[in-house]
Amino acid sequence: MTIVKLGLLPWSQATDWPAYADIAVRAEALGYDSLWSWDHLYAIFGDPYQPIFEAYTTLAAWAAMTERINLGLMVGAITFRNPGLVAKSIVTVDHISNGRAMCGLGGAWFELEHTAHGIDFGSSVGQRLDWMDEAAGILRAIFDGETVTHDGPHYHTEALVHHPRPVQAHLPIVIGGEGERKTLRSVAKYADIWNGAGTVELLTHKGDVLRRHCEEVGRDPAAILWTANCKIFIRDTEAEARRVFEDLMAANRTPMDYVADDPTFWMGTPEQIAETMLAYHAIGFDGFINEAPAPYDIESIERLVTEVKPMVEAG
């Protein structure tokens, strides 16, 4: 029998704290395996000046109000924090949660939030991905209890050691993205979980690239959980699911032309969603991270677990 790992990423924009806290508790009660937050300072869909909550403090709060579900950022912006501070924050969340934290890393992409806050955005995507790779190596060493002296192109540490150690013997690193030269090589070197976004055809190719990187660095690709990014809307008809999707985009001040060509929005009946998920599973994806726009569509969030997941696991 296929085992599917389901994560829920409730959007941190266009919501309030009571709703954001409630959806975390509900996700755990429904049986989701993991719970995620964006790491953004401005809203990323539609109007950037909508309300949005900070990510690390969110994880700490969720850790205190849940008991079982794993917690992480999808993904942590490498530009926002020194890797030593990232390690200290994530290990603190690991202790609050009694061993349920994951360390998400990504190259960051939203220039406006960097400019507004005076945060160095770097000179290029490639440079930020170099920073991410360098930081991932430092983080892995800190999590594993090493004393880290590092004199790199971007980061410098001197006899850096952290106490307490993580609760987990191996605190997982999560890397999101599909870049073939740099991101997927970093995944091969450091990630326990990869999150990719795109069509089945695109991710089939990206998976092949990742396997080649794993071979080059001496890593077993089976040691990495592949997760697909998706945004799922479920109703008894596809037309009804689409209406829900359109209403939620309007609530997030997001024009339809902004998301019209985004292949990560999936809408339909439970059978249609299961068929889509099975196509991704067939190319190696055993996990799905479902992003849920606010105000949260509880019907879709529940039906994904209670109706769709059993179909997918039955094959």
Cα four-point dihedral sign 263, 123, 59, 295? negative
pLDDT the model gives residue 113: 98
Residue 232's closest CA among 80, 2, 9, 75? 9
User: Which pTM value belongs to this model?
Assistant: 0.95
What burial class does residue 284 get, using C-beta atoms within 10 Å of its C-beta: 0-12 exposed, 13-18 middle, 19+ buried? Answer: buried
Write the DSSP symbol of residue 226. Answer: E
**Ramachandran area for residue 126 (φ above 0: left; ψ -120 to 50: alpha; else beta):** alpha
Residue type, 67: E
Whether the bond between 18 and the residue before it is cis, its omega within 30 degrees of 0, is no
Q: What is the DSSP string of 141-189?
A: HHHTT--EEEE-SS-EEEEE--SSPPSSSSPPEEEE---TTTHHHHHHH
Residue 264's closest CA among 313, 224, 229, 315? 229
Q: What is the DSSP string of 248-272?
A: HHHHTT--HHHHTT-TTEEEE-HHH
pLDDT the model gives residue 178: 96
70-73 and 34-37 strand pairing: parallel
pLDDT the model gives residue 214: 98
Q: What is the DSSP string of 36-83?
A: EE---SS-SSS-TTS-B--HHHHHHHHHHH-SS-EEEETT-BTTTS-H
pLDDT the model gives residue 1: 65
Cα four-point dihedral sign 52, 57, 63, 66? negative
Residue 188's closest CA among 175, 170, 204? 175
At what angle are helices 183-190 and 200-217 packed, to 10 degrees? 50
Query: pLDDT tens string for the chain (315 positions)?
Result: 678 999 999 999 999 999 999 999 999 999 999 999 999 999 999 999 999 999 999 999 999 999 999 999 999 999 999 999 999 999 999 999 999 999 999 999 999 999 999 999 999 999 999 999 999 999 999 999 999 999 999 999 999 999 999 999 999 999 999 999 999 999 999 999 999 999 999 999 999 999 999 999 999 999 999 999 999 999 999 999 999 999 999 999 999 998 989 999 999 999 999 999 999 999 999 999 999 999 999 999 999 999 999 999 998
pLDDT the model gives residue 3: 86
pLDDT the model gives residue 260: 86
Set out the domains of the chain in order of their start, with CATH numbers. 5-314 (3.20.20.30)
